[in-house]
Structures are given as structure tokens and as C-alpha cells.
Amino acid sequence: MKSEFYIKNYGKSFFWAGKFLKKEIFADCAILYAFCRIADDLVDENSNSAKKIDKFIKEYSNSKSKNIIINKFKKIKKKYNIPEKFINDLFYGIKLDTKIVNIKTKKELIKYSYYVAGTVGAMMAHIFNTTHPKAIKHAIDLGIAMQLTNIARDVVADAKLGRIYLPKDFLSQNIKVEDIVNKNFNRDKLFSAITKIIIMSEKFYKSGNDGIRYLPSSIKYPIFLASSLYKRIGLNIINSNLDKYFNSRIYVSFFEKLFITLKAFFVLNFKY
């Protein structure tokens, strides 16, 4: 299975924006995405997920690993001198999902989002040969922003996996995963918490976009486009009605993508 399979089928916004990257850079980004996706999918398999991710991490540590994606990732890690810290932090974050998720505060949510997505943003920055400390901070923030969008979009899907990422102090009542799965909750109150997550993400999208100035000129547009497409998901959530949100997956349509692709080009040249 080609590395590009994962980003094409599971990261449609990234795949769309990635087509504006140079072929070699996009291929390396696809490897990073595949590596992270495979690890994440192991956790989503509820049966023995802790053992499966431990086995994956052990395989990563094995210098004679036969796992194709792991070996491809190791090559780009060496090629771009990606710090081991971000990989270890990613593994730590993914392993958190093998336990009972219990996020109490906004601060804890941001910390979790760093581990599972901010780390990926930092690794992407290295692939783009952008390693200034300030640039890495902005890349981490963009990763956090996108993870917050994921959390806001996937509340129902996550509940079916036995997880709630909404901070307890965002919820006006104690909602359990069973309540969401069985549709036994106040939709207005839950949607209010979801809206807070999207509003919270705005700060991180802004920081991520502010970091575009550190990127090579050929990288700026694809990253701003990816940011704009993902941010649109949050806007579509806010603009959706409750029935649509709780009974279907919110996404960015083909025609919206076309519009955002054109708009991002002009905004980028005007602002950045």
C-alpha cells in the first residue's frame, strides 16, 4: 500500500492542499501522515489497543524493522533531522487514548492537542526546512488548531469509541459517552461546548498563519490553503443545524474547496 493512500483517503483537506507542494515534499509529508495515521488507527481498534500501540512503538525502535511505513518514516526523519522528542511526545499522546480520556480543563485539552497534533506540525516544519524556534512554535499551534477542529467535528464518532475530549468545565452537565451514543443528552448544551472549542481554535489558527512568514516561498501557499480548508470545517459546524451536526459528518464540499483555493491565493499575497 502506497504512503499516499492514507492522506488521500483520510486527510482530504491535506491531500487537496498538498497537490500544490513540490512532488518530493508532498511524498515525504504523505509518509509522515501515514506513520501518524497508522499509529492512531491502532488506538481506535478497541481490542488490545494498548498492546498494539506498544508493539508499534517497539517496532519503531527496532533497527531491523520490516514495517514498510516505519522504515520510510525513519528515512525522512534522518533526511530532515527530525528531533526524537516530537516522536516520543506523539507516542505519549497516542497512548493517552488507550486509557479513559478525562479532560477537565481548557489547559489539559491544549496539552493533549500538542501531543497528538502539535508534534506533527513541528515535524512538518522540519520537512519544510523551517527550524527557527519561533517557526516551530507557530507550526505546533497550527497542529493544535487542527486537532481542536477534529475534536469539535468528531464528538459523536469519538463517543462511539468511548471517548469525550470536551473539557468538563465546558459542559454545563455531566455527559457520558453512553449519553451521546444513545442520544440521551441536551443537544443545545453539548453544541454550546462544541462551539467553544471552535472559538478556542481561532487563536491557534492565527498563530499558525502568522508563522507562514518563516516558510520558503514555495511552501507558503499550500500551508495557508490547508489551514484555510481546515478552519472552514469549524465554520461549517457553527453554521450547521443540530440535526445535521449530530446525524452526519461535517465536511468542506468540493465547490467550497474551489472557492477557498482561489481566495487563499489572493489573501496570502495580500497579508503574507
Helix (H, G, I), strand (E, B) or coil at 56: helix
> Which residues does 152 contact at the CB level (< 8 Å), separation at least 6?
194, 195, 197, 198, 201, 234, 237
pLDDT tens by residue, 220-259? 999 999 999 999 999 999 999 999 999 999 999 999 999 9
pLDDT of residue 12: 92
Measuring CA to CA, how many Å separate 176 from each of 98, 154, 180, 221, 225? 17, 15, 7, 41, 36
Read off the C-alpha cell for 226: 490547508
Q: State how far the Cα of 1 lies from the Cα of 193, in Å rounded to an integer.
A: 39
Q: Is the pLDDT of residue 272 over 90?
A: no
End-to-end CA distance of the chain: 38
* Span of 34-48, 64-78, 203-217 with lowest mean pLDDT: 34-48
Residue 260 has pLDDT above 80, yes or no: yes
Taking all residues of the chain, what is their mean pLDDT, rounded to a whole number? Answer: 93
pLDDT above 70: percentage of residues in the chain = 98
CA 86 to chain centre: 15
Cα 249 to Cα 76, 153, 166, 167: the distances in Å are 33, 7, 17, 21
Left if phi > 0, otherwise alpha if psi is -120 to 50, otherwise beta: which for 162?
left
pLDDT in the model for residue 1: 60
Least confident of 45-54, 71-80, 219-228: 45-54
pLDDT tens profile 168-202: 999 877 888 888 888 888 889 899 999 999 999 99
pLDDT, residue 230, reads 97
